[in-house]
Structure 1
């Protein structure tokens, strides 16, 4: 936001100008830090209330964070000071909400707060891993390398997410059309069929009775089903946001057949990438493991990281542990870990493509059975009436 201000200097001189800040309070704080006593402060070109976007409807997208990280890494490599880089990115960012958050970051940094501590104030935008990596870069004096690694990490995740979204577009279209057909049949066709069959009399097939009964229940109690479904989803999401809920949900997903293999590869890839980034950034292996929360005590006692990982064969497969051992013995652990990342990224991509190639025909079969069953329930009594 830009604010027009009028203020008095310590010498009593009147100053007029424009200042950019994330909020009115932040603008007042910035002006007071320059020794100015503000007499007038107004938002420049303030929009009417009906034109202002609702904050709770806006959120920072993953793409915005990815671009922010990449551009910040480039500016750092160009020897641009952090404060100036943040202000530059705040002006260039298209997202108004994210621009204000970046401006607030610059204000915190200017006020003496470390960059990692400033990031920590935005947990919905910057993950705990992101903050930990920046903190490690600050400690080791390699913030530029860490930001570059973070940008590459976010770009890989963004690319994988886009592949999944693109591949799911057609299956989602099929599901939408199938559900629309079922909805129209349930709302319009089945009630008319029920009235027609009631007028004609006669014994109805079991499948027809079951469909008519189900439709009657749905038409009478639809609000209760919506309430239970919405309430259940809301409570589940609230529980997953807690530390215990997230842990239990992840453990549950890791036990789902088919999905567990995909998730295990994804977690192994992230673990290797995180560890490689820290080691390549000059962080000692003990400090790196402390940041990742893994096996710190064992490594401190002199054990090799490959030996420690080997104690958990269910979490770390032998091929993963063996590759880490080779990296330790050759003194190229960071390079070896990055090779592991590339290996699991390829495996992830292949797994996603294989899964989606199976998902599409499977959805067609399931929807075909549902629509076919409903059509059988409709046509079977009509066929019996015609045969009489």
Structure 2
């Protein structure tokens, strides 16, 4: 019997109070523990609900209890909350319920989500420092241009005696004071425009995704991230009993990079025609030769899931090194940029001051 779908208003309220990734990790981990202890799905969900504090998560678990009590499978019940549970998570749970290895899959899901959370945290940390420095630099520049520069210029009887760099900064100061709203609007429009173009303009997305893969430092980071996600997800699907074509279809929708997503779809089509992974992936600049060889070995020995788990650990370590490399590379670049900006402003102020002192002397 199909459970009644949760109402639109209630679902909207849950979305507004959407649980965090920590809540999802804890949910999968507790569900795995209770399943290993021999509890049924309904009893496991009841135990999780009793200890859950997050209001949005309580709503989700309560609805899962309601649906599973009416005979709905856990995976089908989770589909009612696809805004919270990922498509790949639902597919893994559905396969695990069929194969009978639900506790192992749930534990693996919690571990993978925790790893993904750690990666996101490292990326945020890597970008936090340069972001803070740039914000404070921008604030300092605005204060100097609006308040310091006009006061300094008033000391001179004629603007014709000022150096060219000072005249340029005066023009920037006047423009900022008169049209600050245009500058602010331009910055906001640039950010929103990029996001809209990347989301809705396919040629722009294709171009930017290739830039992310080819750019120094960032390219290695992007490549390592996609190879880690590909190998880990494919290994998880194999271990959960999902067929390779179904697994690749899911992965192609999960990976956001256009080039990886398209290539994985092509590999899926080749497998449907009877080709193997090696024949389809060989020669692609998106995949490392070692990865292709590892998958080929797994195909020959029948343990694709196991070898993919091992190679995914390698890419995870490589990803950590790429994040550290990004942090080391950004710091001197940001400091050089700040030094140039500060140097231009200082020169525009002290050059005419030096000339004025010389004239007085």
Name the TM-score class by shorter chain. 0.7 to 0.9
Q: Please name the residue that 1:192 is paired with.
A: 151
Q: Please name the residue that 1:224 is paired with.
A: 182
Match of 1:233 among 185, 188, 191: 191
TM-score (norm 1): 0.76
Unaligned runs of 5+ in 1: 1-21, 27-53
Match of 1:277 among 216, 233, 236: 236
What is the distance in 2 between the residues matched to 1:239 and 1:134?
35
Q: Please name the residue that 2:322 is paired with.
A: 351
Shift of 1:69: 2.1
Higher relative contact order (CA 8 A, sep 6+): 2
What is the distance in 2 between the residues matched to 1:200 and 1:243?
51
Match of 1:129 among 88, 91, 100: 88
Unaligned runs of 5+ in 2: 1-5, 253-264
Comparing 114-123 with 151-160, greater Cα deviation is found at: 114-123
Q: Please name the residue that 1:205 is paired with.
A: 163
Shift of 1:321: 0.6
Distance 1:215 1:65, change over 3 A: farther
Q: Please name the residue that 2:257 is paired with.
A: none
Summarize deviations over 1:219-278 as a string: whole Å, max 9, x none: 221212322332443354355555958954544533444322211111111111111111
Shift of 1:376: 0.7
Q: Please name the residue that 2:172 is paired with.
A: 214
Aligned residues: 338
What is the distance in 1 between the residues matched to 2:166 and 2:341?
13
What is the distance in 2 between the residues matched to 1:153 and 1:147?
10
Structure with bigger strand share is 1
Distance 1:232 1:332, change over 3 A: same
Q: Please name the residue that 1:108 is paired with.
A: 67
TM-score (norm 2): 0.81
Q: Contact (CA 8 Å) 1:59, 1:97: kept in 2 or not?
A: yes
What is the distance in 2 between the residues matched to 1:125 and 1:67?
14
Structure with bigger helix share is 2
